[in-house]
Amino acid sequence: MTWTMTLRNVCTIGALAIAITLAGCGPILAPRPDPAKFYLLTPAADQPSTQTAAVQSSAGGFTLGLGPVKLPPYLDRPEVVTRSAPNRLDLSKTDRWGESLQNNFTSVLTRDLAAQMGTQQIVVFPWYSTTHVDLQVQVEVYRFETDAQGNAQLSAKWTATRSYPQSGPCATGPARTSSIAPNQT
């Protein structure tokens, strides 16, 4: 009987010790809120202005081909990249892109061009070989990140090329822009 009592006491004490340990681990095992924030680029203007509406009526069957749009490989990730020094990039632990930055960048650029040109006749690279494109605009992004103060910087080069039979580059130029990001809460 003492053997049974001793075994029962050991089991009771063991169960009590496990219960106390688990009760003390409550905060450790409790769910924690996810601090991640997700961001998307948005077009500058969704609606064409009255000025671009006049361009649209005169554009007729003009079709713009956009792409390829190339982003640097360091941006091919879900984390938002911050340039903390001229030669150092930091990946955010909490700020994420809501979708592929490549897709989001191209989509927003397409919508902005459509609003500026007053046309919806923009096809994104790659397009079918049977698609007639009057002008192809290629974009190569060199830098696209924020700095430690929250200022966004974009550095890119664009090239516009006429399509066949007048093929060849017709314009090229740099695109540099900076903006101050509003305080995020």
Mean pLDDT by 10 residues, the chain (185 residues): 62 70 63 90 69 46 92 96 92 95 96 88 94 93 88 91 70 66 49
**pLDDT of amino acid 118:** 85
Rounded to whole angstroms, how far apart are CA atoms 101 and 41?
8
CB 63 within 8 A of CB 123: yes
CB 184 within 8 A of CB 167: no
Rounded to whole angstroms, how far apart are CA atoms 56 and 63?
11
**pTM of the entire predicted model:** 0.72
Rounded to whole angstroms, how far apart are CA atoms 50 and 106?
25
Does the domain at residues 37-180 carry the CATH identifier 3.40.50.10610?
yes
**pLDDT of amino acid 8:** 72
Return mean pLDDT, the chain.
Answer: 80
Name 168's Cβ contacts closer than 8 Å, sequence gap at least 6.
161, 162
Tens of pLDDT, residue by residue over 103-131, are 999 999 999 999 988 888 999 999 999 99
CB 64 within 8 A of CB 137: yes
Per-domain residue ranges for the chain?
1-32, 37-180
Q: Closest Cα partner for 106 from 140, 143, 56, 150?
A: 140
